[in-house]
Amino acid sequence: MKPIILVTGANGQLGSVLTPALRARYGTDNVIASDLLPRPGYESRFEILDATDESRMTEVVRQYGVSQIYHLAAILSASGEKAPLRTWDINMTALLNVLEVSRKEGIEKVFYPSSIAVFGESAPLENTPNNAFLDPLTAYGISKAAGENWAKYYFAKFGIDVRSVRYPGVIGYQSDPGGGTTDYAVEIFHSAVRNEPYTCFLEPGETLPMIFMDDAIRATIELMEAPKENIKERSSYNLAGLSFSPAEVAAAIQKHYPDFNVSYSPDSRQAIAAKWPDSINDSPAQDDWNWQPQFKMEELVETMLTKLQEKYAAKKLTPSQHSSVA
């Protein structure tokens, strides 16, 4: 029997791609998208839902007989630093609502996305292990680290099958960036395709872990479909794709766009990125549920450029007609 899935935050950078993937796999009628506002393409099975409203969430769960929740609604790292207390309040209230509704309504599985933002100064920068000490230095990272502990608590105390991965920076052509510290890695491709110069908000050598959107979606679904007995990490799994710096991705793009110009003007996001790992050790994910990324740098760059070229051509937009995306 196919699961009935509720996706919170379905309009976001990840949710807007994961929701169609889930519908393709489990059937449109079995996946309920939800967010604060309606979105074109979600006319079927879409509910207005503020994840901080537990009673409304309960109503939607009961209405559709939901058996799994993919909880994607959150305020991200860079946006979160502008209003840290609001970020904590919204991120934690929403997660605890999901966990409490799951406990009360007998939800079978919950997906909770964590992030490399949980790591801070105590974690080794290279090959950061899954069990590294968590001392995040952003409101977003603090909320995600706390969320991992709540996920583990609800599994241990109530048997709620909560599963989680720590996403690195997610790069995709399908959706716009969502206010994160790694947004440059999406923005830079849009600028290249529009034949516009790009000013990067990180230093040229600031290496960070990244993952292509297709790999991130596949990892999420593979984790959720893995046998319960295989899930050994009940806080969150490290997830690795590839690591690169702004200068490295700029050089890779310039192989296709030789005249593409990139300059650097680091802002407050540089201080956040400097505390995050350069590379991630995801051996527990590989061992427990056979995770393996598929996209390397060359394939990622070629795919991003090709798909964005197609996207702009379909919109019939020239660079002069469209000055910004993210």
Q: Take residue 286 and report the two structure tokens written for it.
A: 């590989």
Q: What percent of the chain has pLDDT over 90?
A: 90
pLDDT band per the 50, 70, 90 thresholds, residue 2: very high
Per-residue pLDDT, averaged over 54-76, amounts to: 97
Per-residue pLDDT, averaged over 134-160, amounts to: 97
Classify residue 72 by burial, with Cβ atoms within 10 Å: 0-12, 13-18, 19+.
buried
Q: What is the reported pLDDT for 316?
A: 67
Model pTM? 0.93
User: Which amino acid is residue 109, in one-letter code?
Assistant: K
E strand map for 62-135 = 68-71, 109-115
Q: What is the reported pLDDT for 318?
A: 46
pLDDT band per the 50, 70, 90 thresholds, residue 320: very low
Q: Tell me the pLDDT tens digit for each residue of 14-23.
A: 999 999 999 9
Q: Tell me the pLDDT tens digit for each residue of 15-44.
A: 999 999 999 999 999 999 999 999 887 778
Per-residue pLDDT, averaged over 300-323, amounts to: 77
Whether 184 is catalytic is: no
Domains defined along the chain, listed by start: 5-167+213-238 (3.40.50.720), 184-208+241-321 (3.90.25.10)
User: To which H or E segment does residue 284 belong?
Assistant: helix 283-289
User: Which amino acid is residue 309, in one-letter code?
Assistant: Q
Choose, from 42, 70, 140, 154, the residue flagged as catalytic: 140
Q: What is the reported pLDDT for 299?
A: 97
Distance in angstroms (rounded) separating the CA atoms of residues 128 and 130: 7
Q: What is the reported pLDDT for 324?
A: 25
Compute CA distances 257 → 173, 245, 299, whole Å: 17, 18, 16
